[in-house]
Amino acid sequence: MYGKDRGSFQQGGFAPSAPVDAGKEYEVEIEDIAKQGDGIARVEGFVIFVPETAVGDQVNIVVDKVMRRFAVAHKV
């Protein structure tokens, strides 16, 4: 009953894929500021940290790195 047939997060299927891809450009609005000072944008609810931005900025970004729960990008 508690063997390998039981689902787990590491076996796949549970973690949604990110709606953004590294190297691609997106137009976003900065919605918030993180504790570290980076701007926070969202694409389909997925968090993207963008340095050197302020709340309300409309910016074009290029995604540098995509992690499981967030991404990091830079302004173009």
Model confidence pLDDT, tens digit, residues 24-76: 999 999 999 999 999 999 999 999 999 999 999 999 999 999 999 999 999 99
Question: Taking every pair of C-alpha atoms in the chain, what is the biggest distance, in angstroms?
Answer: 53
Domain boundaries, the chain: 19-75
Q: If you classify domain 19-75 with CATH, what class do you get?
A: mainly beta
Q: Determine contact, residues 34/21, Cβ cutoff 8 Å.
A: no
9 three-class SS: helix
Q: Determine contact, residues 23/63, Cβ cutoff 8 Å.
A: yes
Backbone angles phi, psi at 55, to 5 degrees: -55, 135
Distance CA(31)–CA(70), nearest Å, equals: 15
